[in-house]
Chain A
Amino acid sequence: MNEFIGFTVSGLVSAGLYAIVACGLTLTYTTTGIFNWAHGALVAVGAFSYWQFAVDWGLPTPLAAAICLLLVGPLMGVTLEAVIMHRLEGTSEATRMVVTLALLLGVLAGMNWIWPPSQQRLVPRIAGGHVLTVLGQRVPYSDILVIATGLLVAVGLRTLLYRTRAGVEMRATVDDRTLATLNGASPSRTAMRSWAIGSTLAVLAGILIAPRGALSATTLALLIVNAYAAAVIGRLRSLPMTFVGAVILGLATGYAQGYVGSRQDITGYQYLVGLVNVLPVVVLFVALQFLPQSRLRGARVLRVKEVSSRPTWPGTLVLAVSVVIVAVAVAPLLSPGDLNSVTKVWGLAIVALSLVPLVGYGGRLSVCPLSFAAIGAVVVSHLGGSGNPVVIIWAVLIAAACGAVLSLTVIRLSGLYLSLATAAFAVMLDNWILTLPKFTAVIRVPFTDVTLYRHEITIFEGGSLDVRRPSFFGVHTTGDHAFFIYGAVVFALVTLVVAAVRRSDFGLRLIALKDSPVGYATLGLNGRLTSMAVFAFSAGLAGLGGAVYGAAIQRPSPNVFSFFSGLSILLAVVILGVNSIGAAAAAGVFVGGPALTNLFPGLAQLSSTLIGTAGIGLGDNPNGAVPAEMRPRWRPVPRAPVVLVGGLAAVVITYFLTLAGVLGNWTFATVLVVVLLAMPPVARYVAEIPAPRPVRDAEADGLSGPPELLGLTLPVTSADLDRVSREISVPRPRPTGGSHGT
Chain B
Amino acid sequence: MGLEISGVSVRFGGLHALDDVSIDARGGMITGLIGPNGAGKTTLFNVITGVQRAASGRVLLDDTRIDRVPAHRRARLGLGRTFQRLELFGSLSVRENIRVATGALPRSRREATVNQLLDRVGLGDVADERADALSTGVGRMLELARCLAAEPSVLLLDEPASGQDDQDTARFAALLTSLAADGMAVLLVEHDMELVMGVCERVHVLEFGRLIASGTAEEIKNDERVRVAYLGEEVPA
Chain A interface residues (CB < 8 Å from chain B): 295-296, 298-299, 305-308, 505, 508-509, 511-512, 515-516, 518-527, 702, 719, 722, 725-726, 729, 731-732, 734-736, 738-742
Residue of B nearest to A527 (CB): B72
The answer to whether A305 touches B132 (Cβ under 8 A) is yes
Which chain A positions have C-beta within 8 A of B165? 734-736
A731 to B37, CA, bound (A): 13
Residue of A nearest to B232 (CB): A740
Which chain A positions have C-beta within 8 A of B213? none
Distance in angstroms from A564 CB to nearest chain B CB is 31
Distance in angstroms from B140 CB to nearest chain A CB is 9
Chain B interface residue count, CB cutoff 8 Å, equals 51
A667 to B147, CA, bound (A): 61
- Whether B86 sits at the interface, judged by CB under 8 Å, is yes
The answer to whether B163 touches A524 (Cβ under 8 A) is no
The answer to whether B87 touches A726 (Cβ under 8 A) is no
Which chain A positions have C-beta within 8 A of B126? none
Residue of A nearest to B102 (CB): A505
Interface hits, B105-156 → A, CB 8 Å: 110, 132-133, 135-137, 139, 146-147, 149-150
- Whether B162 sits at the interface, judged by CB under 8 Å, is yes
8 Å CB contact of B150 from A299, A523, A527: A523
The answer to whether A742 touches B100 (Cβ under 8 A) is no
A527 to B136, CA, bound (A): 26
- Whether B96 sits at the interface, judged by CB under 8 Å, is yes
A719 to B133, CA, bound (A): 9
Residue of B nearest to A735 (CB): B165
Indicate with 1 or 0, residue by residue over B195-234, a CB within 8 angstroms of chain A CB atoms: 0000000000000000000000000000000000000000
Indicate with 1 or 0, residue by residue over B80-117, a CB within 8 angstroms of chain A CB atoms: 11011111111110001101110110000010000000
The answer to whether B72 touches A526 (Cβ under 8 A) is yes
Which chain B positions have C-beta within 8 A of A509? 100, 103
Chain B interface residues (CB < 8 Å from chain A): 37, 49-51, 70-73, 75-76, 79-81, 83-92, 96-97, 99-101, 103-104, 110, 132-133, 135-137, 139, 146-147, 149-150, 159, 162-166, 191-194
A296 to B71, CA, bound (A): 9
8 Å CB contact of A522 from B49, B110, B163, B194: B49
Given contact pairs A305-B90, A308-B91, A505-B110, a sample of 15 additional A-B residue pairs in the complex whose CB atoms are under 8 Å apart: A299-B86, A516-B89, A520-B89, A521-B70, A524-B72, A524-B75, A726-B139, A729-B86, A731-B159, A731-B162, A735-B165, A738-B166, A738-B194, A739-B192, A742-B37
8 Å CB contact of A740 from B81, B88, B110, B193: B193
8 Å CB contact of B147 from A512, A523, A719: A523
The answer to whether A508 touches B100 (Cβ under 8 A) is yes
The answer to whether B192 touches A525 (Cβ under 8 A) is no
Which chain A positions have C-beta within 8 A of B76? 524
A522 to B88, CA, bound (A): 12
A307 to B131, CA, bound (A): 12
Task: Assess A521 versus B75: contact at CB under 8 Å? Given A305-B132, A731-B159, A732-B163.
Answer: yes
Distance in angstroms from A304 CB to nearest chain B CB is 12
**Shortest 7 CB-CB contacts between residues of A and residues of B:** A731-B162, A524-B75, A519-B87, A722-B135, A521-B71, A512-B89, A515-B89
The answer to whether B193 touches A524 (Cβ under 8 A) is no
A516 to B71, CA, bound (A): 14
Residue of A nearest to B93 (CB): A310
8 Å CB contact of A516 from B80, B88, B104: B88
8 Å CB contact of A508 from B79, B96, B146, B162: B96
A726 to B193, CA, bound (A): 23
Task: Assess A732 versus B137: contact at CB under 8 Å? Given A298-B85, A527-B72.
Answer: yes
A524 to B78, CA, bound (A): 9
8 Å CB contact of A738 from B71, B96, B139, B192: B192
The answer to whether A742 touches B159 (Cβ under 8 A) is yes
Residue of B nearest to A722 (CB): B135
Task: Assess A519 versus B136: contact at CB under 8 Å? Given A505-B103, A525-B72, A725-B163.
Answer: no
Distance in angstroms from B90 CB to nearest chain A CB is 5
The answer to whether B75 touches A522 (Cβ under 8 A) is yes
Task: Assess A515 versus B92: contact at CB under 8 Å? Given A523-B146, A732-B136, A734-B165.
Answer: yes
